Structure 1
Amino acid sequence: MDALLVSTGLVALAEIGDRTQLLAFLLAARFRRPVPIILAILAATLANHAAAGALGAWLTSIMEPQALRWVLGVSFLAMAVWILVPDKIDDSAPPMSRYGVFATTFLAFFIAEIGDKTQIATVALAAQYQALTMVVIGTTLGMMIANVPAVLLGDRFAHKLPVKVVHAVAAAIFATLGVATLLGAGSGLGF
């Protein structure tokens, strides 16, 4: 249950102001069709985070526990710093609206998540908790918690969030996980 709750909370916080949330705002404004946008975000996130979680689970099988502990601890600390860097949308991306709302949103979200903070966090959380299904469900739920309101409420909602405060809280949680991991938390999990 910890894997689900931590994964959900961390990703929901990390996603506030993230480029995929900005992308959700843009897609909602452009297409004005929330249901296919939300379904595509769900499908893209599940696909992306399942692959990331599988990578995290695989890492636990090939790395020695001590090495994995250091990699995870440093990864969580790096995430704490990275989360404080604001994201922006790359305006040079070609428009894909000819593919329809669902396909455009799916492709845009799947590609935007490659190498994104939440994908890296999913790898680390899956390795940390060794609970692939719970982590993928949690990180996906966290993405939906952050992005569904973005789709439904658009710009009116974006300007009312204290993004810097939310990012600071998420960074503190990642830093705490990093320090705890480096100090041996999770040793009962095999590292």
Structure 2
Amino acid sequence: MEAFLVSTGIVALAEMGDKTQLLALLLAARFRKPWPIVAGIFVATIANHALAGAVGAWVNTVLGPDVLRWVLGLSFIAMAAWMLVPDKADDLDSGNAPRFGVFGTTVVVFFLAEMGDKTQIATVMLAAQYNPYWVVVGSTLGMMLANAPVVWFGDAITKRVPIRIVHIVSAMVFAALGVAALWPQS
């Protein structure tokens, strides 16, 4: 249960103001078809985070517990610093015409945008520490909690949510997890 709750919370926080959340907003504004966009985000997230969970599980088998503790702790602290650098909508390109329809375009673009993203890296790190299945389920839920409302309610949400404060809180959560991972185990 801890893996599920931690993954859900971390990914939902990390996704606030992230490039994939901005992509969700751009797709919603462009296509104005929320259901295929949300379904596409869901499918892309499951595929991406299942891959990340498998990598995290593999990392757990390759590294010894002491090395893994240091890698995880330092990675979480690095994620805390990364959270303070907001993504910009200029980095995104949603393409011209929806060659594969709204759903297919969303799956492809969202999957690619999520590669190497904060939330994917967080999923790898969490899967190395916890049960990968529950990490993937939790991180997928966190992604949906952050992105589905943006697709449905768009600008109204982004104007009311203080993204800078969310980034600072997220950074503090990642830093605390990093320190906790580095803290000597008794």
Q: Same fold (TM over 0.5)?
A: yes
Q: 1:182 to 1:96 in 2, by over 3 A?
A: farther
Q: Distance in 2 between matches of 1:184 and 1:7?
A: 23
2:146 aligns to what? 146
5+ long unaligned stretches in structure 1: none
AA in 2 matched with 1:128: Q
Q: Distance in 1 between matches of 2:15 and 2:92?
A: 20
1:58 aligns to what? 58
Q: 1:62 to 1:169 in 2, by over 3 A?
A: same
1:178 aligns to what? 178
Q: 1:183 to 1:91 in 2, by over 3 A?
A: closer
2:119 aligns to what? 118
Note if contact 2:19-2:92 (Cα within 8 Å) is conserved in structure 1: no
Q: 1:91 to 1:5 in 2, by over 3 A?
A: closer
Deviation at 1:47, TM superposition (A): 0.2
DSSP 3-state at the match of 1:85: coil
Note if contact 1:69-1:184 (Cα within 8 Å) is conserved in structure 2: no
Note if contact 2:26-2:94 (Cα within 8 Å) is conserved in structure 1: no
Q: Distance in 2 between matches of 1:164 and 1:150?
A: 17
Residue identity over aligned pairs, in percent, reads: 61
AA in 2 matched with 1:69: R
Q: 1:69 to 1:91 in 2, by over 3 A?
A: closer
DSSP 3-state at the match of 2:96: coil
Deviation at 1:52, TM superposition (A): 0.4
2:110 aligns to what? 109
DSSP 3-state at the match of 1:159: helix
Deviation at 1:96, TM superposition (A): 5.0
DSSP 3-state at the match of 2:107: helix
Q: CA RMSD in A?
A: 1.3
Say if 2:6 is the partner of 1:6. Answer: yes
Aligned length: 185
AA in 2 matched with 1:113: E
Q: Distance in 2 between matches of 1:183 and 1:137?
A: 27
1:133 aligns to what? 133
Deviation at 1:184, TM superposition (A): 3.4
Q: Distance in 2 between matches of 1:92 and 1:106?
A: 14
Say if 2:82 is the partner of 1:79. Answer: no
